[in-house]
Amino acid sequence: MSPIRTVEDVKSALGSLVPPVVLDVRWALGDTEGRQHYLDAHIPGAVFVDLDTELAEHGAPELGRHPLPSIDALQAAARRWGVTVGVPVVVYDNTGNTAAARAWWLLKWAGVEHVTMLDGGLKAWIEAGNDTASGEETARTEGDIELGEGHLPILTADDASALAISGTLLDARAAERYTGETEPIDPRAGHIPGAVSAPTSANLDADGRFLPAEQLRARFAGVSDEVGVYCGSGVTAAHQIAALAIAGIDAALYPGSWSQWSNDPSRPVATGPS
């Protein structure tokens, strides 16, 4: 199934006999006010999801900034959000789904089959003339979902290193972080040797919607049969995996990403445009 749904489709589904669970994943690097943005305005009925605490687990720096949560913690959170067997899930943010894609990927990885992103996010919802709500909302009923890990492929650091040689490893960060010109948050600048720069921002049009499938197929035409993706901490790389899926290409996520790799002094670092 496609990773995305249109505003019109989601609005129609919300009025159906089995409306989807809607999750607001407002997060951006350097912006700590995601919950406040949600409280100010969100799609009516949407439940806020905290990416830092609910879609990630935190520990030693060598694990990266956003390690995958334990399956038990994710299941408990998903049930709080109202995720229920047989009920579709729609996730969104207000940054072109670059954060919401983490929830999309994580729930798919954990076995939730019917989860999609609202294409264009909150911006598209509002521009279509739809109302928003303010304040905190909770799930209509507690969910009963049973989760299990491993339904989508992931890479370890060693896997990513090998794939950069044997297949295609895409670096979804901004080009200047790939080249090593700047590094705003992680301990070393540069990229995994052999990785190819493919910034997530190029997956979207000017309105924050995913490019059409044919354009995404053209963008990724040069990838090999085996594809992996990483970013700074495994968040926007999920967006790249969604774009690849729209193009008909399967890809694995390196969850530790650059934040894990750059914290390991034994790992080599490349700089420059290639």
To the nearest 10°, report the CA torsion of 24, 26, 32, 37: -80
255-272 burial, b at 16+ Cβ within 10 Å, e below that, comes to bbbbbbbbbeeebeeeee
Selection from 212, 257, 265 nearest residue 105 by Cα? 257
Secondary element (H or E) of residue 246: helix 236-246
Based on the residue annotation, tell me whether 264 is a catalytic residue of this protein: no
Catalytic residue among 49, 74, 231, 241: 231
Partner residues linked to 92 by β-bridges? 24
Q: Rounded to an integer, what distance in angstroms lies between the CA atom of residue 180 and that of residue 237?
A: 18
Q: Rounded to an integer, what distance in angstroms lies between the CA atom of residue 177 and that of residue 164?
A: 18
Give Cα separations from 132 to 9, 40, 42, 94, 190 (angstroms): 17, 9, 5, 13, 41
Residue positions annotated with a catalytic role: 231
